[in-house]
Structure 1
Amino acid sequence: MKFLKFTLLLIIISTSFIQAKTDTIEVFSKAMNKSLKATVVLPSGSEDKNQDFPSVYVLHGAWGNYLDWHKNVTKPNLLQNLADQYQMILVTPGVAPFSYYYDSPLMDSVQYETYISKELIPFVDQNYPTKKDKNARAITGLSMGGHGAMMIAAKHPDLFSAAGSMSGVMNIDVRTWIGNESTQEERKKSQQEMLGNINYDYPFSPYTAVGLISEMKENNIALLIDCGVDDFLIETNRQLHQLLLENGTPHEYTERPGAHTWDYWTEALPFHLLFINQVFEKNN
């Protein structure tokens, strides 16, 4: 009996150390002729070759990289814990600063919509135990990554069943931002280099999230948008929210205390994955 109890104790102890693992991958982009890194967080149980998992792409913001969601969150192992909790594969791609995840009509080195939708996702699906179905795939992100998530999902409804934005740049028009005038001019200059002279007024350019509200309505993708009330991007989020109300697009919208900080995004991500998990369960 003592031996049996000791064996059971060993099993309990050893299983407590079974948890999500994180791979760093490097994917070559033919569209841009360069390789880009990403992390893939695998939930516990992913070693079972008979089980597939839903996947969520979690995008970083400007000045960021593929490790942001691992290094900058204020709760250790946040992604690993969430991957375990919801039995999801979480992917954090890295892109260039200020690229906003779009395909530039002027620069071959800025083709990040194509990279995410046609290169990274197929690579992950080929090499990891994902459910290869839009009903089990979602995308979300913070700031610039929120813009990327909403834009890419709007343009590729065949790939995603849910999309989210945390403190997102819902309008790349710097006139809608609050404060930081020097940063605004820098961003406007980089936008012109990548996009040329686009229309910043209504009807909005398809290179900005507010210019894709018709697609958001037609695609029937579940949408979650949130922003802190002290965030310098709050007005762009309110603008998109109002446009979606006006054209009758179902979506979840939340404002709560907070600013453009990792404290806010650390608290926001669990809500996004809860929302996404509920969409996945409904789809199944």
Structure 2
Amino acid sequence: MKNLLWLIFTFSNTLLFAQTRVDTIEVYSTSMKKNLKAAVTTPASYSKGSEKFPVLYLLHGGSGSYSDWHQKVTEKDLVPRLAEEYNLIIVTPGVGPASYYYDSPLMDSVRYETYLISELIPFVDKNYRTLAKKESRAITGLSMGGHGAVTLSAKHPELFIAAGSMSGVMNIDTRLWKVQEDFRALRVQSQKAMLGEINYDGPSFNPYTAVGLVSQMKSNGIALIIDCGVDDFLIETNRQIHQLLVENKTPHEYIERPGAHTWDYWTEALPVHLFFFSKYLERQ
């Protein structure tokens, strides 16, 4: 079916969050000709009136799922708790396993920038009571999702007031990753299939990687928070983008703390990001 589909299921919550709601929606992507799922969490106050709400788009990592932030965090019901505490809507989209939230110039099946920006966000704004404006919308994510959040906000500053990254792939150049060679080879092969031959070296880099968009980050004025564990295999990519942002005088919050590429780390990081975003999101 080429029309947008909306299939809603309600996850069961603990008694504490009995009035919050988590819908699973399915949206047809006309750009990729396939259905994609997302979870939409609304606070208790959503069902009590006509109030409109700010929205956080919360992205998963490589080989992940739209349900990861609900099922893999080490604090049960973390997303519903934060939706309730900050009185906002949280959307967790699902995308391809190694797609990095960009549009491939070579593959019609990889149009995740178009999907997020031109299909999912308008769908959520149409079907939920959102404050459908830049000043009330933020985006963040983990690993591949951190890359997506930072790059999408840099390329579409008209849509977001703030963006963040947790343990993000701030540079898709795998030479900076502390990984085994077989994993590196898989990622190089995947990137080449989606992007072809691109420039991985600075200072210009390429438009498909976060470090290649630091000039846009400087000019668009979006509030940025970037954090990474000191034992994370992506720490050097995070230090690299931090240095580039310092050099071009882009204001941003940068955090290094103990931790690795784990759900323990991301469970602790998400409340920090919500606190940061709460300083910028407008509520009317």
- The corresponding residue for 1:134 is 134
1:215 maps onto 2:213 in alignment: no
1:45 maps onto 2:64 in alignment: no
Counterpart amino acid of residue 91 in structure 2: V
CA displacement, residues 177-230 of structure 1 (integer Å, 9 cap, x when unaligned): 113221111001000000000000011001000000000011100000000000
Of 59-68 and 48-57, more deviation after overlay is shown by 48-57
- The corresponding residue for 2:64 is 64
1:270 maps onto 2:271 in alignment: yes
- The corresponding residue for 2:20 is 20
User: In 2, distance between residues paired with 1:78 and 1:101?
Assistant: 24
SS in 1 for 2:191: helix
User: In 2, distance between residues paired with 1:190 and 1:56?
Assistant: 29
SS in 1 for 2:219: helix
How far the C-alpha of 1:47 sits from its partner, in A, is 1.2
How far the C-alpha of 1:279 sits from its partner, in A, is 1.2
SS in 2 for 1:280: coil
1:227 maps onto 2:228 in alignment: yes
Q: Calculate percent identity across the aligned residue pairs.
A: 64
Which aligned runs of 4 or more in structure 1 are off by greater than 2 angstroms? 15-19
User: In 2, distance between residues paired with 1:171 and 1:152?
Assistant: 14
- The corresponding residue for 1:200 is 200
Instruction: Tell whether the 8 Å contact from 2:17 to 2:81 is kept in structure 1 after alignment.
Output: no
Distance 1:88 1:187, change over 3 A: same
User: In 1, distance between residues paired with 2:26 and 2:49?
Assistant: 23
SS in 2 for 1:51: coil
How far the C-alpha of 1:17 sits from its partner, in A, is 6.2
Instruction: Tell whether the 8 Å contact from 1:19 to 1:80 is kept in structure 2 after alignment.
Output: no
- The corresponding residue for 2:94 is 94
Of 159-168 and 17-26, more deviation after overlay is shown by 17-26
User: RMSD value over aligned CA atoms?
Assistant: 1.3
Counterpart amino acid of residue 190 in structure 1: S
How far the C-alpha of 1:18 sits from its partner, in A, is 4.8
Counterpart amino acid of residue 86 in structure 1: Y
Instruction: Tell whether the 8 Å contact from 1:49 to 1:129 is kept in structure 2 after alignment.
Output: no
CA displacement, residues 129-174 of structure 1 (integer Å, 9 cap, x when unaligned): 1101110000000000000000000000010000000000000000
User: In 2, distance between residues paired with 1:67 and 1:181?
Assistant: 29
Distance 1:28 1:192, change over 3 A: same
Distance 1:123 1:181, change over 3 A: same
How far the C-alpha of 1:63 sits from its partner, in A, is 1.1
User: In 2, distance between residues paired with 1:112 and 1:172?
Assistant: 16
User: In 1, distance between residues paired with 2:261 and 2:27?
Assistant: 30
User: In 1, distance between residues paired with 2:126 and 2:178?
Assistant: 43
Counterpart amino acid of residue 134 in structure 2: K
Instruction: Tell whether the 8 Å contact from 1:170 to 1:236 is kept in structure 2 after alignment.
Output: yes
How far the C-alpha of 1:20 sits from its partner, in A, is 1.3
Instruction: Tell whether the 8 Å contact from 2:29 to 2:36 is kept in structure 1 after alignment.
Output: yes
User: In 1, distance between residues paired with 2:173 and 2:134?
Assistant: 31
Q: Larger Rg: 1 or 2?
A: 1
1:236 maps onto 2:249 in alignment: no
SS in 1 for 2:224: strand
- The corresponding residue for 2:191 is 191
- The corresponding residue for 1:257 is 258
User: In 2, distance between residues paired with 1:48 and 1:93?
Assistant: 25
SS in 2 for 1:108: coil
- The corresponding residue for 1:164 is 164
The normalised TM-score by structure 1 is 0.93
Structure with greater proportional helix content? 1
How far the C-alpha of 1:48 sits from its partner, in A, is 3.2
User: In 2, distance between residues paired with 1:48 and 1:126?
Assistant: 19
How far the C-alpha of 1:124 sits from its partner, in A, is 0.3
Distance 1:29 1:64, change over 3 A: same
SS in 2 for 1:102: coil
